[in-house]
Chains A and B, each alone.
Chain A
Amino acid sequence: MDQDLELINQFKTGDLGGFEMLVKKYQNKAINIAYSLSRNSANAQDIAQEVFLKIYNNIDDFRFQSKFSSWFYRIVVNTSYDFMRRNKHKHISIDDDSCPELADCKISEDSLAKELVQELLGKIPFEYRSAVVLKDVEGLSYREISEALKISMGTVESRIFRAREIMKSILVKKGVLADEV
């Protein structure tokens, strides 16, 4: 049996230590996904706390029919979506949502400035964003994303493709990329 399932069994028999280890193993994943989806570090912490509260309260719904990680990623994405919808009318500050000078947009050949990444993510519809975040931030395979989001692998592929196309077109518009690409 894999380690997650052992921890869940431990927790289901009343040992909070199992849950604590599960939280410590997955908390950074929850925070980082929530950060890229909500684009605000304080909200990411709140969302991650909500995620683990949901897991704590609904652990009996997990029946070992799928991997814990798939269930976990689904809860993170859904909780982020609900959180953002709930706070749609409130003013949510986006961390560093600007790229003042073109020279500031790229920090190296392999990486864009964080503020530009945040801006790009904000321009992608949520369903594309969740797929590309699970792929690039978490490094999941298309199969793992399809299991987590309960969509086909073809849909995963097309959502990731569309997300990147949107980001590319914005970079071209900003002059960060050449028009040819």
Chain B
Amino acid sequence: MKCNYSKFLNKYLDNELDRKERSSLEEHFKVCATCNAELKTISLLKGSLAGNKINSNAESFWQSLKSRIDESSVVKEREESFTLDFSNLTRRLIPVPVVFALVAIILINLTPVNSNLVDEYIFGASFDSASSLIIESGTQSGIEALVY
């Protein structure tokens, strides 16, 4: 059976009640077996959790942390220096007009319109003549022309 005071037991044991609330509860505890049993249970849980700890070696923990920090700092520095060096290098060695010229050349070469038209024309023309040769292949001149 639950007691009406039981809802205050957690706060009582967690030291979250003011002095007045505590003393009125303590008066109640003198006569309430249910609350006393519940108090014992919560104390058991609290005590067990409080003891749930492990030992660690402060110095070895710090040494291993420090080496991880050093490692991450070296990686960071390497990344930063690569970025900086690369941008400096490009700024120093490749002047702006050269970059523009390079970009223009690349763009012209990549533009598909003219080259494709030429390819299509050549391919279409040769395909026409080849097919006509195949049709004529029955004749000697047609075979010779096809082989050639």
Contact in complex: B14, A160 (CB < 8 Å): yes
The verdict on A114 contacting chain B, using a C-beta distance below 8 Å, is yes
Contact in complex: B54, A24 (CB < 8 Å): no
The verdict on A110 contacting chain B, using a C-beta distance below 8 Å, is yes
A52 and B52 contact, Cβ closer than 8 Å, known pairs A27-B58, A142-B14, A177-B41: no
Which of A2-10, A30-38, A62-70, A80-88 interfaces with chain B? A30-38
A131 to chain B, nearest CB (A): 11
A105 to chain B, nearest CB (A): 10
Name the A residues within 8 Å of B37 (CB-CB). 178, 180-181
A164: nearest chain-B partner, CB-CB: B45
Name the A residues within 8 Å of B41 (CB-CB). 168, 171, 177, 181
- Tell me how many residue pairs across A and B have CB atoms closer than 8 Å: 103
A32 and B53 contact, Cβ closer than 8 Å, known pairs A27-B58, A157-B10, A168-B41: yes
Contact in complex: B43, A110 (CB < 8 Å): yes
A160 and B10 contact, Cβ closer than 8 Å, known pairs A45-B56, A114-B52, A141-B16: yes
A 73-126 contacts with B by CB, 8 A: 109-112, 114, 116-118, 120-121
Name the B residues within 8 Å of A142 (CB-CB). 14, 16
Chain A interface category by residue count? 35 or more
A133: nearest chain-B partner, CB-CB: B49
Contact in complex: A112, B44 (CB < 8 Å): yes
Name the A residues within 8 Å of B54 (CB-CB). 31-32, 35, 41, 44
Q: Which of A20, A110, A133 has the most CB of B within 10 A?
A: A110
A157 to chain B, nearest CB (A): 7
Chain B residues engaging chain A, CB cutoff 8 angstroms: 1, 10-11, 14-16, 34, 37-38, 41-54, 56, 58, 61-62, 64-66, 68-69, 72
20 A-B contacts (beta carbon < 8 Å): A24-B62, A27-B58, A31-B54, A35-B54, A45-B56, A45-B61, A48-B61, A53-B69, A110-B48, A111-B47, A112-B48, A137-B52, A137-B53, A141-B14, A141-B16, A142-B14, A142-B16, A160-B14, A164-B10, A164-B45
